[in-house]
Amino acid sequence: MKKDATKTVKSAAKTTAAKATEKAAKVAESAVKTTETAAEAAAQTAKDAKAKVEEKVAKRAGEVKEEAIKAEKKAVAAVKEAVKKAPAKKTAVKETVYLQYLGKEIDKDALIAQVKEIWTKDMNKNASEMKSVVLYLKPEDNAAYYVINDEVSGKIDL
């Protein structure tokens, strides 16, 4: 009987082991399927997230482009307005005046240069402080009289 009991136990153990192995294989197969399903779900979630990010980026890029266009239009309008308000440059006419009297020829620009020299060297003033010069030519006195900034006056011999 002992032998029969051992055989029965061994046979039951083999059957139990076979069932356990079969069950373990099923559990492993189920785990693989679950892992595959989870991986597919994760991949789909990543695709969905990527699509949402791309959509948001595209939308924001469009908004930024619109803002840039608006800013450019404002800048162009500001430049146009500044051009309208800017005074037109006038071309200066070159003027030359000579006084001819008793064989002498006196140049207006030379007289102005002498007045500026008197202002800067003799009076120790800055040229930028000179705002106006008025010349009075008096050939009978052989002199030119000047008034600087409506305050300082003097005489230059011709």
Instruction: Give the pLDDT confidence of 75-98 residue by residue, as tens digits.
Output: 888 888 887 877 767 777 787 878
Residues 107, 85 share a domain: no
How does residue 2 score in pLDDT terms, banded at 50, 70 and 90? low
Of residues 65, 118, 120, the one with CA closest to residue 135: 118
Beta strands 152-157 and 104-107 are unpaired
At position 127, the amino acid (one-letter code) is A
Residues 112 and 146 in one domain: yes
Q: What is the pLDDT of residues 100-140, one digit of tens each?
A: 888 888 888 888 899 999 989 988 888 888 999 999 988 88
Question: Do residues 75 and 104 share a domain?
Answer: no
The answer to whether residues 86 and 103 belong to one domain is no
Question: When comparing pLDDT for 94 and 147, which is higher?
Answer: 147
Q: Please indicate, yes or no, whether residues 85 and 104 belong to a single structural domain of this protein.
A: no
Confidence of residue 18 (pLDDT cuts 50, 70, 90): confident
Q: Under a CB-based contact definition with an 8 Å cutoff, are residues 116 and 110 in contact?
A: no
Are 112 and 82 in the same domain? no
Q: Which are the contacts of 125, defined by CB distance < 8 A and separation ≥ 6?
A: 119
- Same-domain pairing of 27 and 44: yes
- pTM of the full predicted structure? 0.42
Domain limit, last residue, from 90, 114, 149: 90
Do 37 and 102 have their domain in common?
A: no
Judging by DSSP bridges, how do beta strands 104-107 and 98-101 pair with one another? antiparallel
The total of structural domains in the chain comes to 2
Burial 1-31 (b: 16+ CB within 10 A, else e): eeeeeeeeeeeeeeeeeeeeeeeeeeeeeee
Residue 120 lies in domain: 98-157
